[in-house]
Structure formats: C-alpha cells, structure tokens
Amino acid sequence: MVTMKEIALKSGVTQPTVSVVLNNKKTTVRISPVTRAKILATAESMGYRVNEIARSVKTGKTNTIGVIGVLCSFHCMEIINGISETASARNCTLKLWPCSTLEEVKSAARKCAEQRLGGVICRSLTEEELTAVQTEFKQFGIPVVILVGSGFIPDGCSSVNSGEFDGAVKAVEYLRHLGHCRIGYVTTRYSGKFNERRLNGYIEAMRRNGGQEKSIQVVEISNNDLLPEGDKIKLLAFIRRNRLTACFCGADSLAMKVAYVAEAAGFRIPEDLSIVGFGGTDYSAFANPPLTTVHESFREMGRQAARVLIQTMENPNFPAEKVEIATELVIRSTCAKPNLNSISKTKQGERNETQR
Amino acid sequence: MVTMKEIALKSGVTQPTVSVVLNNKKTTVRISPVTRAKILATAESMGYRVNEIARSVKTGKTNTIGVIGVLCSFHCMEIINGISETASARNCTLKLWPCSTLEEVKSAARKCAEQRLGGVICRSLTEEELTAVQTEFKQFGIPVVILVGSGFIPDGCSSVNSGEFDGAVKAVEYLRHLGHCRIGYVTTRYSGKFNERRLNGYIEAMRRNGGQEKSIQVVEISNNDLLPEGDKIKLLAFIRRNRLTACFCGADSLAMKVAYVAEAAGFRIPEDLSIVGFGGTDYSAFANPPLTTVHESFREMGRQAARVLIQTMENPNFPAEKVEIATELVIRSTCAKPNLNSISKTKQGERNETQR
DNA sequence: GTGAAAGCGCTAACAT
DNA sequence: ATGTTAGCGCTTTCAC
C-alpha cells in the first residue's frame, strides 16, 4: 500500500508535510496552496489510504469500541445497530466479542486491553463476569464499562436499561383497565435468574390497584424452542386453577406459547383469555393472533449506550449515568374485556383439547 | 500501560530480549531459563499486555476480519456468532460495519482498507455495492470478499449460501408426499428482488412431479410488520381462486401471516390448509400453530464463511470456493394430508371471517 | 545467550 | 511555508 513517504517522494516534499496536508491540520503550520494541491492530487492518484494502525501507535489510542457478552438473536442485533449508528456518527468503529462463559469473557477482556480499545459495552454479563472485566480494565485505565440489557448493575458504572418495571406496570394496568382482575404472570429463567424488574412491576401494579396478595399468581415455564408436555399441563392448570382471564408474560416467546397452549385447550383468544407479551420484536407482530406487547426499543438502548460510552471516553471524569429507555404498550389483537362465562367455556373446550 | 521497555529495564535486559521471550520465539535465538523466568515474572507482576497495534504496524497486518452489509435481526446475529466462533478459534477478531446504502458501504470499505483488515465478509449487498467493495479491495490487495446469505454472487469470488433451491424442493415434495397437488407459493420482495433460488426450487419441484404448468401459482405480498388489508384480500383470493390445499412460503414471517389470515377466514390449520415456511429461526417454533419449515443453519453459514475467508487470507492463491449449507425440513404442526372437503368448509368459513 | 541497531508508517515539536 | 528530528511500541536481523 502507498505510504506518505512515497507521496512525499513523488511530490518533491518531505513526508511530514504530506501528513500535515492530508490531515488538514489548522495548526500554526501553513502550506502553500500549490504544494497542498499537488500533494492532494498525488495522494488521490496513487490511491492513498491512511494507515490507521500506524496512526494509533503514535497517538496511543484507537477509536474502536468493543461489545462483550451474550450476543444472541432478536434484540442483540438491534442493540448492535443502535451502537453502530452512534459510533459511526462519532467516527468510532465497532468490535464484537460474543462470549458466554467466564473464560471467554476474561479472554475477550484481555484482548480488548491488548488491542487498546477505547471503551467497552457489556451486555448480559453475570456479576462474576462483569467483575472480571472491570478488574482487567481498571488496571489498564481502559475508560469505561457500560451495561446494556438485563443483568447485574454495579454502582459507579454507567448503564442503559429499558424501563422494564414501568413497562410491566403499564401492561397490568391496561389489563385492569379492560376489567381484568385475575391476571397471572408467566415467566422463565434466563441464565438461571428471573427478570426481577418485570416481576416486581407486575406485583406492584397488582397491589397498587387494591389487589389482594393472593391475586398475585406466578408460574414459571422453560424457555426451550418447544414447550415440554409438562409445561403445557402446568400452564393450563395455572390458568384454570386461578380462573385467570388474562396472562401477562415476561417475554413475547412465552406469550406465543401461552396463546398456543390455551387455544389448543379450547380457549379463544382474546375472548376467553387476554395475553400481553414483553419485548415487541418483529415476530410479535407475525404472531397468531398478533400480540399485544410491551415494546422495548433495543436500538435506542444501543444508541444511548454508545453515547454514554463515548462521552466517558472523551472525558474520563464524566459522572456515571443510569439511562432508562421508556417502553411502549403496543396494542394488537390478544386482549379484550374479560369474558365472565369463560370458565364454563373452558370446560366445554376441554373436549376439543386435541383437535388443533 | 506497561511497555516492553519498562520490563526490560526492571529485568536488566534489553527490550528486544523481552520481545523474544514474551513471544516465545523458537528462533535461533535462545534465552537462558533464568533470564526467561525473570522476564516472564516481571511482565506478569507489572500486568503487561502486549500492544497489538504496535505489533500490527510492524508486521503490517491485522488479524481482524470485517463484516459489511445489512445486519438486521434474526438470522444475522446467528451468522455473526458463527463467524466469531471460527474466527476466535483461529485467533482473529471481528469488526462490524452495518450499512444499508451505497454510500455507507463505500465508506465502510474505505475504512476497512484504512484499518488494514485482513479480510472482509459481505452480507446481502446489491451488485453495485459489491462492485464498490471489490474495487476498493482489489486496489489495495486486501485479500478477499466472501458473500454470505442471499443476494448477487459474482464469479471468481468465494461464497457461502444455504441450499435454498434444494430446500424449496424438499418442502414442496413433502407436501406432495402428503397428497397435495394444489400448492401455492407465497413470496415477497427484499430490497426490490424476489429470492429466485427459492422460487425456482418451488417451480422445479412442481414440474418434476408431473405438475401442469398452470398448477404453478405464485402470489406476492408485502413484508411489513402488519399485513395491509389489501394483502389479506389478495392472499385469501389467491388461496380460494386456485383452491389451494397448501401454501409454501418463502419466509417464516410470511407463513405466520398466511396462518393468521387463513384462520381468521375460517380455515383450520393444518386440516384445511397446510403451510410450510422457510428459515426456521426460533420464532417459527413459537408460532401458533408451530410452523413446519425449512431450516437454514445461519450459524454454520457464518462458520464456513469465516473458514473460507481465513484460508484465503493465509493463502491468497486459494481458489474461490462456493459453499452450500444444507437445509433441513423441520416438521411441526402446520401440515396434514389434504382435506378433500376443504372447499366447502372454506365457504362455510367465510361467514365467520370477521370473528377473530 | 544477549545486546545493538534498524525500521514499520505515522504524528508532533521545533528549526529554518 | 517547508524541512528536520524524534519517537510511539514493537519485530527482526545480525553481531558479539
């Protein structure tokens, strides 16, 4: 590849002059228009591309930001796109370190240090993993760690999250507003933990509206691709035993499973059972019926995470910031006023349980 | 950060010696075990991290591979994880350049050159965009461009794709095997184009089994989040006019829309209408009913793309390779033998068309 | 076995 | 207005 030296040679100037011209430095140093034009033309004709690596050795920094963590489908791609939007607008580029074990995280963090990344965004790390990352980075003065998405958030660390608590409250209040009282919460464990912010939002909203303690009903099912038979039975029993007229689900995938299991058991949706999901990624719209859900803006979370990170990179004294991205209730076709006869209908429905 | 110079000073040796030891060079140069141990201990105690950037200026190369293109949800995250798996096993790291316009692609390609990336994987680029990338890279001897996913594939360029043609054939043959003759194809345009490989697979399979030319029926609907009313009518008319007993859909999202529209119009699925999707990402399993679909292994595509790319990086004379990843028919709950009475049932169904 | 010297391509301070 | 000099942190070649 063409270097500044070669351009200098061909233009009859010295290499640092080329550097000054190509970087368009407005320092005290001034270059005559004619020399400047000549250099620019030569660079262009030779197809010069600055060597960012060499520049980085010299300046001691890279404008690269890293993303470490569990980077699995759905939301993550949106988050990454959001990060990329902000990053590229600020002339930063993006490095990815998908990892799922502590060992992988440690190794990624080390590599980030070796590559002198400007800063790192962590996604869905366990407390232990996060500690490892912070230890590595503090030691080397690597500016910042920002968290995005669910998971543990230590003090003194900037973070971006969606307003999960408020979102859950919004969902439950919408159902109550429609007239539902018997609202169950369907949840699952991700990496061994419940999402407590959503659960607490559900509980708070149930209490807030004068709900009895006993009206708070929670069931846990697995989050596999296909629902195990045991979970189907558990789910149906949960709905029937508590005579639920509505289910609020901690994730869209759970809501879709509930819809499927309930319909197969003879419930009509939304007439006999209302369902609200959480997440609101594309496939909730394709669901049958299209899912009423709490929409989280993952792209915006990415944008904000990058913004906070870059700010901290530019000014390490920037105080830690906790950003919360508002959720939005998207009303589609899985909610209706409660059907007071639903219990008898359910009984009838049991007969066709295997029909579809 | 600690440098080799500092370690050298503290260990009472010279900096190149430190370099040799830390890189564990097995060259002619030998270091006495005691010096070696001392250097290693010092480096460890000082928390040394090699400066990869400085190393890269010197060696003139990076072990970074870039991914350029439309990096939107669902499949892309899987592809990226696949790439990352292979890359990290070969000690390469990953840079991402999400872009959707020609300008963005051009700018990304230029930055890849400036950052001296070892190679680049392109995803879902138009012919024009791809040409721009290739022009940039050929000029600077940047090793390779690999394509992954759908889109245009130029000669002389390695590529990885899923066996879409074969997958479509498999889907249609499965339906025929169940007894279906009247099988329609539902498709959409992505960036202005149909996926011809899937369409051709459908046509081929229809012909192959002695199907009449007129039995080949294709409809195009939009791929928005929510199906416009016009598309619903178009879809129902398509099914009824051709008295279809099955729909093969070019994407899972389309299949889910067909299921929704058809059920709303009184069709039972799969009794009255069988549906096969294409893609097989998670949400097809959460669909109602769970979708029978042609599963593409995006992760494997990513793995293979990275493998081919790295091979070419290591040996630029490596011949171009066209890899095709096999698809797999995943049978779930949207297909059954054709219901010979379905036409009359459909007529009945029309009455409840607005009921859900 | 170890040190000395050179140089990768660039930036930046200073000299002319 | 341009050139000179130095040096970022590393790798590599060669001399001792």
**pLDDT per residue over A79-136, tens digit each?**
999 999 999 999 999 999 999 999 999 999 999 999 999 999 999 888 899 999 999 9
Helix axes B15-22, B4-11, angle to 10 degrees: 110
Q: Are B271 and B339 in contact (CB under 8 A)?
A: yes
Q: Which chain B residues have a beta carbon less than 8 Å from that of A74?
A: 73-74, 77, 282
Q: Are B285 and B271 in contact (CB under 8 A)?
A: no
pLDDT score recorded for residue B344: 42
CA atoms in the 13 A half-sphere facing the CB of A220: 9
pLDDT score recorded for residue B32: 84
Token pair in block for residue B212: 């009449």
CB-based contact, A331 to chain B, within 8 Å: no
Residue where the block lists tokens 């609202």:
A183
Backbone angles phi, psi at A62, to 5 degrees: -120, 155
Q: Are B295 and B328 in contact (CB under 8 A)?
A: yes
pTM summary value: 0.92
Name residues whose C-beta falls within 8 Å of residue B135's C-beta, 6 or more positions apart in sequence: none
Burial bucket for residue B214 (CB in 10 Å: 0-12, 13-18, 19+) = exposed
- DSSP classification of residue A292: E
Residue where the block lists tokens 């002695």:
B210
**pLDDT per residue over B127-147, tens digit each?**
899 999 999 998 887 866 677
Enumerate residues near strand D (beta carbon within 7 A).
A 12-17, 29-32, 34-36, 54, 57-58, 60; B 1, 3-5, 15-16, 19-20, 22-23, 25, 27, 29, 50-51, 54-55, 57-59
In the structure, how far is the CA atom of residue A12 from the C1' atom of nucleotide D5, in angstroms?
Answer: 19
In the structure, how far is the CA atom of residue B200 from the C1' atom of nucleotide C2, in angstroms?
Answer: 69
Helix axes A33-46, A4-11, angle to 10 degrees: 130
Q: What b/e readout covers A21-60, taking b as 16+ CB neighbours within 10 angstroms? A: bbeeeeeeeebeeeebebbbebbeeeebbbbbbbbbbeee
Give the confidence band of A245 by pLDDT, cuts at 50, 70, 90: very high
pLDDT in tens, chain B (356 residues): 899 999 998 888 888 889 989 988 765 467 888 888 899 999 999 999 999 999 999 988 899 999 999 898 778 999 999 999 999 999 999 999 999 999 999 999 999 999 999 999 999 888 899 999 999 998 887 866 677 765 677 788 899 999 999 999 999 999 999 999 999 999 998 877 788 999 999 999 999 877 666 789 999 999 887 789 999 999 999 999 999 999 999 999 999 999 999 999 999 999 999 999 999 988 899 899 999 999 999 999 999 999 999 999 998 888 999 999 999 999 999 999 998 765 544 444 443 333 33
**pLDDT per residue over A141-152, tens digit each?**
786 667 776 567
d(CA B300, CA B79): 7
d(CA B191, CA B202): 21
More reliable by pLDDT, B356 or A301: A301
Kindly report the CA angle at A49 between A43 and A50, in degrees rounded to 5?
Answer: 105
d(CA A324, CA A197): 12
Closest residue to B49, CB basis, from A64, A113, A285: A113
Which residues of chain A (34-93) touch nucleic strand C at CB < 7 A? 50-51, 54-55, 57-59
Q: Are B113 and B121 in contact (CB under 8 A)?
A: no
Q: Greatest CA span in chain A, whole angstroms?
A: 93
The arithmetic mean of pLDDT across residues A301-330, rounded, is 94
Percent helix, strand and coil across chain B, each to the nearest 5: 45, 15, 35
Name residues whose C-beta falls within 8 Å of residue A305's C-beta, 6 or more positions apart in sequence: A79, A82, A83, A121, A146, A148, A160, A323
B29 touches strand C (CB under 7 A): yes
**pLDDT per residue over A255-267, tens digit each?**
999 999 999 999 9
Q: Are B155 and B177 in contact (CB under 8 A)?
A: no
Helix axes B298-314, B75-89, angle to 10 degrees: 40
Burial bucket for residue A177 (CB in 10 Å: 0-12, 13-18, 19+) = exposed
Q: Is residue A355 pLDDT above 50, yes or no?
A: no
Q: Report which residue type is found at B128.
A: E
Which among A62, A56, A129 has a CA at the least distance from the CA of A92? Answer: A62
CB-based contact, B265 to chain A, within 8 Å: no
Token pair in block for residue A350: 């049991």
Q: Are B75 and B296 in contact (CB under 8 A)?
A: yes
Q: Which chain A residues have a beta carbon less than 8 Å from that of B356?
A: 268-269, 271, 289
pLDDT score recorded for residue B150: 59
Closest residue to B1, CB basis, from A140, A287, A290: A140
